[in-house]
Chains A and B, each alone.
Chain A
Amino acid sequence: MTPRVRGWRPLEGALLAVAAIVALAAAAAPALVRDGRVVPSDLGAAAAVLAAYAALHVAMCWRAPDADPFIVPLLALFGGLSLTLVRRLAPDFATAELRWQLLAVGAVAVVALGPVETRTLQRYRYSLASAGIALVGVTLLFGRSAEGAVAGAPRLWLGVGSLGFQPSEVMKLVLIVFLAGYIDDRRELLSEGGPRIGRWRLPPVPYLAPLAVMLGLSLLMLVVQRDLGAALLLFAITLGMLYLATLRADVVAVALAAFAGGAIYLHGHAEIVATRAAIWLDPWSASQDAGYQLVQGLVAIASGGVVGTGIGRGQPGIVPAVHTDYIFAAVAEELGVAGAAAVLAVYGVLAWRGFRIALGARRSFDALLAAGLTIGLAFQEAIIIGGNLRLMPLTGITLPFLSYGGSSLLICAVCAGLLLRISRPSSVPDGGLA
């Protein structure tokens, strides 16, 4: 297939128009509730972000007419919704949120259309991995808590002055890039057997090594940084990508058991793990202290009903950290179970496109990278929403694309940009996976 040089992208344009209507309606709703009318300045921020995505759409027509047409409209929809929710629920962050949203569009554009090929990432996989581990190490030593956090809160941030970021977010992307390269290097080896223990053949050593390293690193993060969410996510991504390479369910089971064993051990030795487990099992008896956030989150979800109170009319602000960890509860309260299901469906569409891009990739590294990015986003979404819904213990990570959070949003934008880039038929094909 010869890539087109330029061309209209009618599906993307149409979907973007739909996303823009939804996002503008959402932006108008709080003003309507508050003042009874909507003036242009109420829509300014959303319009700016949507205009940026429209510009990205035009650029895509120009530079990447064959790229996936779903990603950009999904980003625009999430971006507009996130902007509206954060501006109302955390007005102090309104300006920062707009800045991050615009930066995110830029990041998508640079990654998807810029000069850096995925091959370059592949080439520097070990350098990236080393930098990532160094970053985590520095955070372990010098990390600080988020601004305004209580004493003793997890120290997950690195920064100079007022600029700060969460290395674990970067680590997520680095891990995916590294594993894609690592697996691609050892495709033949991975399909062979490994050492035997009795009748059970272990997976090959190249499989076990990163698994063991990541298991150790995750548990270390858990203990030292008490960053349960990130530890779980990094471990899950590792496991998912290595499963993709070997299809060994037994090893996944053993790895999960090891992780569970580690978690149970920590349950007795790390207060935060014990607390999280206890409030997961019984939030009701601690509803005024440790379980307050979880219970209030569930009350918020319960308050929505079928279609919700409408944006601007609910009171999700009662839930602590509603603009970051609990944005899904705000969606469920103000847009109801129907709106929450719609948001989940949009994540489903994103995962569907991500897996399609992985299957259609020309190069095996790109295929692995796309699959890894997709499960990374999907697992992150499942971990935080699962925590909100009491399907699993609550761990504080962001909801991709919707939560407020600069590092999170930028990294997610880079992930989306990479997916877009991989979805472009490369001008220089060099050996497909299939």
Chain B
Amino acid sequence: MTPVRDPFATGVARLAALVFGLLALQGGATAYWGFVRAEGLTARPDNPRRIAFDQQIRRGRLLDRAGAELAVTRFDADGIPTRVYPEPAAAPVTGFQTWRYGAGSVGGASYGAGSAEAAYDAALRGDLGSRIGHVLATRVLGRPQVGHDVVLTIDAALQATAAGALAGREGAVVVLDVADGAVRALVSLPTFDPAALDDGRTPPDEASSPLFNRATQGRYPPGSTFKTVTLAAALAAGAARLDAVVADGGGAVETFEGYAVRCANEPDGAVRFDIAHAFAYSCNLTFARLGRDVGRPAFERQARAFGIDAAPPFPLPTAAGQLSNDDAMPLPELVSAAFGQGEVLATPLHMALVAAAAAGDGRIPTPYLLADVPGVRWWSIGDERGTWRRAMSAGVAADVRRAMITAAEVGYVGTAQLAGGPRVGGKTGTAQAADGLPHAWFIGFAPAEAPRVAVAVLVVHGGEGIRAAAPIAGRVLAAALAADGASATMPVRIRSSAAHRISLLPPSEGE
């Protein structure tokens, strides 16, 4: 052999380098498509593997706080899964699963936008929170993927009670735990049958928007329930005390830049009364004056502190409310906003949070839906609980609470007070609506002495709050407290994260 490399060997070496280089390039490209771009490619709607894979997943159940099934997957003889919803009243929370509608999904199953099915999809599918060894074993052995059950804060019985109390009228009910914002019931009517969407039947009467969640996304004028916000602003600004006496009854009228306001609601003969009773009688004139006295900046600040301007953080989509359509807020608009008309809009969830803040120590808890994912470590599912905002000081909250209790005792809220039921506090609302009867509102809490449950009820075009909304709230509050008695503690697994730890005990009075 000659020590000098002959030209042929050089040529072979170079061609070999080219061939091995090309092979390396192919390996790199395989890894690129197989790893880097894999997620986007496999998620393509025209990838039939996804639906085939999804159909063999043992999807986890959605359970209520006591373990009742809200959604469960059953397989037929051919192994085709069907999602069954044993509690139709829970549809606004659970949402639906369908193999039919591709919109908003990436092949495979799709879920009603804004639903627990969508919000907890990763846990329900089992993509999340499983140990890596288990995931690998499942894949290698070809076992069907098994999802996790998800326990919600919803109380299925209370949800049914609330839906039944609305008796088919368009509206919404939100029930919260005062202490930590757990959502016990969230009703929106008209609703839909989640199981009916997959077998070809369209939701009944599309015009009634059954898929629209009025509780979290419906923006309505809050009417007199908004006087709670105005009262808090006035108390905080020192513009009013509960026992300060005003002489707004007896047909008194005041004109605000040409906009005449009268009390309108006081009982016959009541001329002079204190602020607490003005709240109880829902006297528009008193609250128009309070709005003017507080002034626009402080009023706006208070509304923002209650989160009216923002969409509350929540697993289901929420809408922001508003004080005004635009930046301009002349005096007539300000004073009418102060009694909940004008251009003010809020969702039932907003108003339930207002009630919860008044019932508690002035903080607005973050509303939450996820109680537990059994078998999964908490850090991999996240904790939804927390404090969203501080709406008012504990002292102001105590005064507002007292005014709401007064309203229940002597004012027009009495219809929420069931005979033999818990003592309640609250505020009605009858919000003028452009296109028909007024919207009937009620926000409140029970029991009055140590509130544990807050509620907001809306009956769209229901007429007077006192007749249409308050009785519903009374039934719902009584049912909620009765359920509390049956199981004093909620089966929330307390996760020992100091940052998120919130007492499940009601705050003490005057804290």
State the A residues within 8 Å of B (CB): 33, 191, 240, 243-245, 247, 287-288, 295-296, 298-299, 301-307, 309-310, 313-315, 318, 332, 336-337, 340-341, 344-345, 347-348, 351-352, 355, 358-359, 364, 367, 371, 374-375, 378, 382, 385-386, 389-391, 433-434
Contact = CB atoms under 8 A, between A and B. Distances in A.
B201 interface: no
B36 to A, nearest CB: 9
Contact of B20 (A313, A315, A351, A359): A351
Contacts of B15: 240, 243-244, 355, 371, 375
User: In terms of DSSP, what is the predominant structure of the interface of chain B?
Assistant: helix
Contacts of B38: 302-303, 305
B34 A304 contact: yes
B493 interface: no
A355 B26 contact: no
B241 to A, nearest CB: 68
A364 B7 CA distance: 12
Contacts of B140: 307, 310
Nearest to B20: A348
25 contacts: A191-B7, A244-B15, A288-B46, A298-B33, A298-B37, A299-B46, A302-B34, A303-B41, A303-B49, A304-B34, A305-B38, A332-B34, A337-B31, A345-B23, A351-B23, A359-B8, A367-B8, A374-B19, A375-B19, A378-B23, A382-B26, A389-B29, A391-B29, A434-B6, A434-B8
A247 B41 contact: no
Given A318-B48, A352-B16, A359-B9, A434 B1 contact: yes
Contact of B30 (A191, A247, A288, A344): A344
Contacts of A243: 11, 14-15
Given A287-B46, A351-B23, A389-B33, 10 more contacts: A244-B15, A247-B10, A301-B34, A303-B38, A332-B30, A355-B12, A371-B11, A382-B23, A391-B25, A434-B9
Contacts of B48: 315, 318
Contacts of A344: 23, 26-27, 30
B168 interface: no
Contact of A336 (B16, B23, B34, B46): B34
A299 B42 contact: yes
User: In terms of DSSP, what is the predominant structure of the interface of chain A?
Assistant: helix
A359 B12 contact: yes
Contacts of A299: 41-42, 44, 46-47, 49
A386 B11 contact: no
B19 A433 contact: no
B41 A348 contact: no
Contacts of A340: 27, 30, 34
Contacts of B12: 244, 355, 358-359, 371
Nearest to B13: A355
Contacts of B35: 305, 337
A188 B47 CA distance: 58
Most chain B Cβ neighbours within 10 Å, of A243, A295, A299, A336:
A299
Nearest to B19: A378
